[in-house]
Structure 1
Amino acid sequence: MDYKKMSFLDLLKNNILLSDGATGTFLQSKGLEPGGCPELMNVEKEEAVIEMADRYFKSGSDFVLTNTFGGSPFMLKKYGYEDKVEEFNKKGAMIAKSVCPDGKFVFGSIGPTGEFIEPLGAVTEKEMSYGFERQINGLLEGGVDGIIFETQMAIEELVLGIKTAKKITNLPIIGSMVFDKGPRGFFTMMGVSPKKAADDIYNAGGDVIATNCGNGSEIMVDLANELKQSSKLPVMVQSNAGIPKIKNKKVIYDETPEFMIKNYQKFIDIGISIVGGCCGTTFDHIEAFRNLINENK
């Protein structure tokens, strides 16, 4: 475990690393119904999830995320699968690890629980921590090399997740939040600023602070700059391929790889340590980001 942590974090000291792109976009093309359970595909359409991880690695990703974003008991309960937490997460990790080349990594993806901790919500800290524990244990059994809490909005939930993970594993941990730009600057939906996020993730024991989703790459440049200035930790940025639009009853993202790499060059110039893609990004985007990183070596 310690070796994996050192190898990933040591690589990060002198290299710009590349994560993967969108998960949902690809899985929907393989039959995931709108509103369906993506994690179920780990057991029912394993070949599609294997193909996704394999193609991201072949497109140039240094690490990919498991198909376990909604794999908490709180989210799986909505589909009647709360007893499958460990199974779905372990399988998601094993799938990605099965195609992971030497020197590359797999990070276990943990998305929002969809719940609020008391007194804002009905879930206690202990209950939420236990939910994280179940998901993390499944991911660890499947062989992940790190954990990423992504698309988070509530800092209390993210900090609890990081602290829970730290009790179980020494693997590297990434904390990623979604920020929107308003009149007063960047904040999460729950009112968390980039500086507050950076400080709290650092104090909780996180290894990387990140932002993903919510914005196209142009707005992400300003956010990346603010995170870099605020953080004692390496910074990771995963932009959407623009803001989603509805065309012919389909959701489309219109930022091409050629458009995005202009802004991704700015991420590199700012000193961002990890880049990748979120909603709407494809294997072509990841390949373009790989080429850009190679040109900057």
Structure 2
Amino acid sequence: MQASSIPNPIDALIAEKGVLLADGATGTNLFAMGLESGDAPELWNEDAPEKIEALHQGFIDAGADIILTNSFGGTRHRLKLHNAQDRVFELNRKAAEIACRVAEQAGRRVIVAGSVGPTGELLEPLGALTYDEAVEAFAEQMEGLKAGGAEVAWIETMSAPEEIHAAAEAAIRVGLPYTYTGSFDTAGRTMMGLAPKDIHGVVDDLGQPPVAVGANCGVGAPDILATLLDMTAARPDATIVVKGNCGIPEFRGTEVHYSGTPELMSEYVRLAVDGGAKIIGGCCGTSFEHLAAMRTALDGHKHPEQRPTIEDVVARVGPLRNKSASESGSATGTRRSRRARSSES
């Protein structure tokens, strides 16, 4: 399938607006609405759709250009933990339908992206999940998201290059444009060793390139901005996503709170624009209030200023929590060449 054969709503909106604002945290805000620890958010697509609507509406009211469906754990492998592995298509379809219903009433263009998180399984040879099984699981989820109206497969919080590749292959099979982001939370790399500068090459052998690549989650604004600088330096013309956590998690009794303020997240937005990001959002801890402040910061800072250095980042949003990828060793987690797959035989 050629890159031009799948409509790409993200490029069109970037061409119109310059830089896009993605939404904030799903889990943090659903916990505030009553979701219990250990429960599957995806089950609320059927059991409490009005709360999922409120989640999306809150982010649209705050100014989001892109909202993510409530489907992060929507593969059979994650849903089996809640005895819902036979409801993959329906739960993902409903996730997309709810988001689309809210987006259509926004009075402006809002892109609905289908959130696709990791399976939670290790791929061979480290684990039992085969590459082809991973592709099948992601395709099953994405079929539901596409049926519900999702415009983009938003592959996120990945650690293993092989799993990114499997999800990207699934998106191509299903006929969705796709983005992917890694979580660079281990000494500046993903848990499986992928360095930020190598994010671009993970799916180079596939016929359909990603719409955007980048980073999400991680360990706070300074670290994800350092990751951004590595990514944009490696491929300046790429469309880069950053969706950083709202500060650092802190335990207050049994509850987790994030240290980030609206002011911190606003400064993060300005630095991200200057660092070359084209899609900026928030991850864990990012509330509607934070996102509204980020919208205001973005609208007042559409034209990038001087590219920041790590020293600039530290001075404006605080110290890095981890070493940078360049300081953490030379090994990379780039994907190995794959044998011919069963789908090609």
TM category (shorter chain) comes to over 0.9
Letter in 1 for 2:37: P
Q: Sort the Cα spacing of 1:211 and 1:202 in 2 relative to 1 into closer, same or farther, 3 A.
A: farther
2:14 to 7, 12, 23: 12
The letter of the residue matching 2:190 is T
Counterpart of 2:223 in structure 1: which amino acid?
I
Residue type of the partner of 1:221? L
Letter in 1 for 2:53: I
> Equivalences for 1:67-78 in 2 at 5 Å?
67-78=70-81
> Alpha-carbon deviation of 1:261?
1.3
The answer for unaligned runs of 5 or more in structure 1 is none
Q: 1:51-92 CA distances to partner (integer Å, 9 max, x unpaired)?
A: 000111111000100000000000001111000000100000
Tell me which residue corresponds to 1:154: 160
Partner of 2:126: 120
1:85 aligns with 2:88: yes
Amino acid of the structure 1 residue aligned with 2:263:
E
Root-mean-square deviation (CA), in Å? Answer: 1.7
How many angstroms apart in 1 are the aligned matches of 2:193 and 2:9?
A: 35
1:188-267 mapped onto 2 (5 Å cutoff)? 188-204=190-206, 205-231=209-235, 232-267=237-272
State the shift of 1:121 in Å.
1.1
Distance 2:32 2:162 in 1: 35
User: For 1:187, what is the secondary structure of its paired residue?
Assistant: coil
Q: Which amino acid aligns with 1:269?
A: D
1:271 is matched with 276
TM-score between both structures, scaled by the size of structure 2: 0.81
The aligned amino acid for 1:52 is L
Alignment counterpart, residue 33 of structure 1, candidates 13, 31, 36: 36
Larger Rg computed on CA atoms: 2
Q: Give how far 1:271 is off.
A: 1.5
Alignment counterpart, residue 135 of structure 1, candidates 141, 146, 156 = 141
Shift of 1:11: 2.3
Aligned residues: 293
In structure 2, how many angstroms separate the alpha carbons of the residues matched to 1:262 and 1:179?
A: 20
Compared CA separation, residues 128 and 139, structure 1 to 2 (3 A): same
CA-to-partner distance for each residue in 1:5-25, whole Å, 9 max, x for gaps?
Answer: 344212224610011000001
26, 30, 53: which one aligns with 1:50 = 53
CA contact (8 A) 1:4 1:145 kept: no
Distance 1:221 1:123 in 2: 33
Partner of 1:64: 67
Partner Cα separation in structure 1 for residue 10 and residue 246 of structure 2 = 27
Q: Which amino acid aligns with 1:97?
A: C
- Counterparts of 2:212 and 2:73, CA distance in 1: 21
Whether the 8 Å CA contact 1:152–1:177 is kept in 2: the answer is yes
Assess if the C-alpha contact under 8 Å between 1:217 and 1:264 holds in 2.
no
Which of 162, 166, 169 is equivalent to 2:172? 166
Unaligned residue ranges in structure 2 (runs of 5+): 303-345
Matched with 1:145 is 151
Amino acid at match of 2:149: G
Percent identity, aligned pairs only, is 36
Give the aligned partner of residue 329 of structure 2: none
User: Bigger shift: 144-153 or 202-211?
Assistant: 202-211
| Separation in structure 2 between the aligned mates of residue 113 and residue 267 of structure 1, nearest angstrom | 29
Q: Deviations over 1:122-148 (max 9, x none)?
A: 112221111111100000000001111
Cα distance in 2 for partners of 1:114, 1:172 equals 23
**Deviation per CA, 1:92-121, whole angstroms, max 9, x where unpaired?**
000000010342110000001011222211
Note if contact 2:66-2:113 (Cα within 8 Å) is conserved in structure 1. Answer: yes
Distance in 1 (alpha carbons) for counterparts of 2:224 and 2:132? 35
Task: Identify if the C-alpha distance between structure 1 residues 285 and 19 changes in structure 2 by more than 3 Å, giving closer, same or farther.
Answer: same
Choose between structure 1 and 2: higher helix proportion.
Answer: 1
- Residue type of the alignment partner of 1:107: A
Shift of 1:236: 0.5
Deviation at 1:31, TM superposition (A): 1.7
CA–CA distance in structure 1, aligned partners of residues 7 and 110 of structure 2? 12
Q: If the length of structure 1 is used for normalisation, what is the TM-score?
A: 0.94
Say whether the 8 Å CA contact 2:246–2:285 is kept in structure 1: yes
